[in-house]
Amino acid sequence: MKRFKFIVCGVMQKEAYLCAARSKNIVDVILLEQGLHNEPDRLRSELQKTLEVTCDIKGREYDTILLGYGLCSNGIVGLSSKLPVIVPRGHDCITLLLGSAKCYKEYFDSHRGVYWYSTGWIETNTQPGKQRYQRTLQEYRDKYGDDNAEYLMELEQSWMKEYQRATYIDWSFANSENQKDYTKKCAEFMGWNYDCVEGNSGLMQRLVDGDWNEDEYLIVQPGETIVEDLTTDKIIRAE
């Protein structure tokens, strides 16, 4: 039985705790703030600080550190640690939620313009839909007045025209049905199509179980750094 430190974005906390609870290993889940991928330099800084803590609260050193992140706008590029670090090969958290980079690519290639919804993303209350629109509009009105608020909302909505579909990733949590309904309503409000796909815990479960194959995970040895590698399907490499 190994002792792992599992650093994961807060948007996947339920999925992370579920997989950790089922693992034969001791897995300490360390949650970082959701949304850091929007500021890659800050994400990199927060991850590096967390990687530098190699012992648990009782001073016991971890065997390995696990990253519950994909490339995430290059936010993991340049990271290193004194301990081995295992990273799933993926562009972002959707790969972990769908269970493989292959599933992600297959869906993306056949469904252009996808905006993803999941338990964690919905609970952050940041997904496009009526609630977000009304909240943001009120914030703009309070800060800039009615006329400026309407103009700013038009600008914000313009980039969303690139999307055509709201797709919910279902991990069959207790509130999944309510979240499917929520995603449908968001799709209707945005004028998008709705879809639901079954989530798959395989990639995350193998990560916390210590079942790491080279095709799905990058193994970063102590002293090595993570480097982007988009010239192959590996996505990342160590050097």
Is the domain of 194 the same as that of 206? no
Cα(217)–Cα(65) distance, rounded to whole angstroms? 13
Sequential pLDDT tens for the chain (239 residues): 999 999 999 999 999 999 999 999 999 999 999 888 889 999 999 999 999 999 999 999 999 999 999 999 899 999 999 999 999 999 999 999 999 999 999 998 999 899 999 999 999 878 888 888 888 878 888 888 877 878 888 887 777 788 999 999 999 999 999 999 999 999 999 999 999 999 999 999 999 999 999 999 999 999 999 999 988 889 999 99
Look at the chain and report how many structural domains it folds into: 2
Is the domain of 123 the same as that of 77? no
β pairing state of 217-220 and 85-88: antiparallel
User: Domain containing 59: what range?
Assistant: 3-97+201-238
pLDDT of residue 201: 97
